[in-house]
Chains A and B, each alone.
Chain A
């Protein structure tokens, strides 16, 4: 029998790792699976759905942890550096995922694997070494208790290879902080959903990888022509120059301008001292140099340096999310403490969004007199107390004192403390809302409420309605929806925007590429994916097929959550955002009209408007018939 021709783009193998037995086993990637779920997020979603059910405790050995790349990871598509880590989330108790860039994801493919699927729990801490198609678990006794930078360096020294790529957890993951991250290449974070705690619960300290295997290209004679065009389009975009200059740091200024910069635990969407924590301030005083991840033309990464004082460090720069979470959100105008707090969070391996949001929840409760020095062990949680913020980062990572309560995330911490602090938790499905004050941009409110991993700006990433993209909005969603769809304060048609974006983002994250270049700036779209997929993978899929694949992945994630009991009532936002008018700034007087937008969204999705269940018809249309059957086994009958 003739050997099956290998698919282009993929490494062609999964790696199964059983931590309990200490075994590693390569398993071939099936072509049908690859085409149906694309890669990255799609792979993680399907594997999670099949292997993790409602009975699974996220921090038990039964949970699984998946690292997954896509067919474009490590290729020459602009910004082709991405990978996803999936698991049932210890923060939300539902579908969990986090994404990162850097150079680790491409290296996993050069090392011979598309995905790593980790099950069980090791008796003693271990790290996984993948060396050109071979894999083994190695004792990590000497690494346990180390931060992420030390871990990466020790592994590189141990194997005498500075070019090893390392993805690892710090103390926060070991101590099962519910918003612990996985960090690769020193400071690139797969931050959200608490996936670092899942790695910690499995006693898996790190995954180090190297290899010299090809990512095959199916149609080499056409490949570079296609790629050249994409590169040119990226470089021609005026956004590229701005990204190179500021990364995402100057979003502080832009968000202040539209009233979308969360301050004081989202009491407001403007911050009087925004200039002190702005992108311009970073560029002027602390920027060393921009930096790119693999095959990235946007280079939004950068190095920053604080020369002296208590917050001295040199390393990765914070992005907008960290500036807002540790800055304006906590009423903190001390930029050096933000830079350092971000650095510390990377060292400990913690999500800066949830870290800042949880601290800002506590600060508001303090401000309201509901939390006192008795709770905090004497710490003063006044707004903007940067010394406290930095101290709390240490305490959360080590679960010391009041930090032990905050390490549970703001939702659980408020449950524990009670006294009315619950209403200050800015979350959806127990995950903290990121740096988008949704009263100033309604689509972001809807996106946070519908995202599968709990509050999230990236699952749909609706950004074109921020300002000035009407032409592109017309192309992507249809001119007939203008001007309402382009008006960030108008709830109308935002259900359409969020639905379309969720589908597109699922495709993008499954291919293993960045939302920069695809979603914003809106340069590369479905037609570019179709062309590039054909010359890379060697299979011709239509735009309609990609759109359907995106819908399939979103519906699969929804099914995972439905099985966990999630319904329309959970697609919610805090009352402050839906009922209390924004007190000041450009969006003064606004609330999020969530119910209206949800109705439209469910209709667009083909989900039941009453309870948010996908209909039978929708699930069959996206070819998830087997999922319908599985849900029935769990006593969930989908409406027709």
Chain B
């Protein structure tokens, strides 16, 4: 099962704290270009977190001529930095723009779903999730939305009838 980082673009406010925290976690410095996660603002209104989806059949792994990218037992695509030559084939291959070259070493960097950033998200939308969990959450949201309306309708109906208990 895929494990990946996710944030709801309608909830994310685009503060980019996760970028700064990620770069600090891995590199002990503040530099969004060294982060494994990127927040992209699509004006107006959407803030989209871009991070590796750890695809079932990853394009990047196939594209890497050095076999520097591998999928581990937990289903996470990891970079073997020693093997990486910074050719950027993985960047070209990834359809999501979710793998990057480190601005100094020029080796591939990517999110390994460590979850370190999630605790810093001020709107609590950043999470490590799986498809199943994400689907369940969305179902819940839809149900809450619809049933919320239903309950409201019921309440109004009751009030109109004369407010009996």
Contacts and interface: CB of A to CB of B under 8 A. Distances in A.
Do A and B truly interact?
A: yes
B24 interface: yes
Interface string B9-31: 01001111100110010011111
Contacts of A223: 24
A235 B16 contact: no
Contacts of A212: 31, 33-34, 103
Most buried by A among B17, B120, B123: B17
Interface of B: 10, 13-17, 20-21, 24, 27-34, 40, 43-45, 47, 103, 120, 122-123
A293 B15 contact: yes
A292 B33 contact: no
Given A76-B20, A212-B33, A314-B44, 9 more contacts: A75-B30, A110-B33, A212-B31, A224-B21, A224-B24, A291-B14, A292-B122, A297-B15, A299-B122
A316 B44 CA distance: 8
Which 9 interchain pairs have the tightest Cβ spacing? A212-B103, A212-B33, A292-B15, A292-B13, A220-B28, A215-B30, A214-B29, A297-B122, A214-B31
A445 interface: no
Given A76-B21, A288-B44, A288-B45, A296 B28 contact: no
A499 interface: no
A217 interface: yes
Interface in A77-132: 103, 110
A216 B34 CA distance: 13
A452 interface: no
Contacts, number: 83
Contact of B122 (A162, A216, A235): A235
B44 A110 contact: no
Contacts of A213: 31
Given A217-B24, A295-B15, A299-B122, A74 B30 contact: yes
Interface of A: 74-76, 103, 110, 162-163, 186, 211-217, 220, 223-224, 231, 234-235, 244, 288-297, 299, 303, 314-316
Between A216, A234, A289, A299, the greatest number of chain B beta carbons within 10 A of the residue's beta carbon is seen for A289
30 contacts: A76-B21, A76-B24, A76-B30, A110-B31, A162-B40, A211-B33, A212-B33, A212-B34, A213-B31, A214-B27, A214-B29, A214-B30, A214-B31, A215-B30, A215-B31, A216-B30, A220-B28, A223-B24, A224-B21, A231-B120, A235-B122, A289-B10, A289-B13, A289-B45, A291-B14, A293-B15, A294-B16, A296-B13, A299-B15, A303-B45
A299 B13 CA distance: 7
Interface of A is mostly: loop
Contacts of A294: 15-16
Contact of B24 (A220, A288, A292, A297): A220
Given A212-B33, A297-B122, A291 B13 contact: yes
Contacts of B33: 110, 211-212
A288 B34 CA distance: 31
A224 B29 CA distance: 11
A74 B20 CA distance: 9
Contacts of B28: 217, 220
A297 B123 CA distance: 8
B32 A110 contact: yes
Contacts of B15: 292-297, 299
A234 B103 CA distance: 33
A220 to B, nearest CB: 4
Nearest to B25: A224
Most buried by B among A76, A223, A295: A295
Given A235-B122, A289-B10, A217 B30 contact: yes
Centre residue among A110, A235, A316 by max chain B CB count within 10 A: A110
Contacts of B17: 76, 295, 297
Nearest to A9: B30
A315 B13 contact: no
B1 to A, nearest CB: 31
Given A212-B33, A315-B44, A290 B13 contact: yes
B91 to A, nearest CB: 15
Nearest to A152: B43
B157 to A, nearest CB: 24
Contacts of A220: 24, 28-29
B134 to A, nearest CB: 20
A224 B28 CA distance: 10
Contacts of B16: 103, 294-295
A231 B31 contact: no
A296 to B, nearest CB: 5
A176 B10 CA distance: 39
B29 A215 contact: yes
B93 to A, nearest CB: 20
Contacts of A290: 13
Contacts of A224: 21, 24
Nearest to A75: B30
Nearest to B32: A110
B127 to A, nearest CB: 17
A211 B29 CA distance: 15
B126 to A, nearest CB: 13
Contacts of A296: 13, 15
Contact of A217 (B13, B29, B40, B122): B29
A299 B122 CA distance: 9
Nearest to A186: B43
A163 B14 CA distance: 13
B31 A292 contact: no
A462 to B, nearest CB: 28
B109 to A, nearest CB: 12
A297 B17 CA distance: 9
A220 B45 CA distance: 34
Contacts of A303: 44-45
Contacts of B40: 162-163
A215 B103 CA distance: 14
Contacts of A76: 17, 20-21, 24, 30
Contacts of A231: 120, 122
A211 B104 CA distance: 12
Contacts of A234: 122
Nearest to B10: A289
A295 B20 contact: yes
Nearest to A162: B40
A447 to B, nearest CB: 29
A121 B74 CA distance: 60
A103 B17 CA distance: 12
Nearest to B103: A212
Nearest to B15: A292
B29 A216 contact: yes
Contacts of B31: 110, 212-215
Nearest to A74: B30
B37 to A, nearest CB: 14
Contacts of B29: 214-217, 220
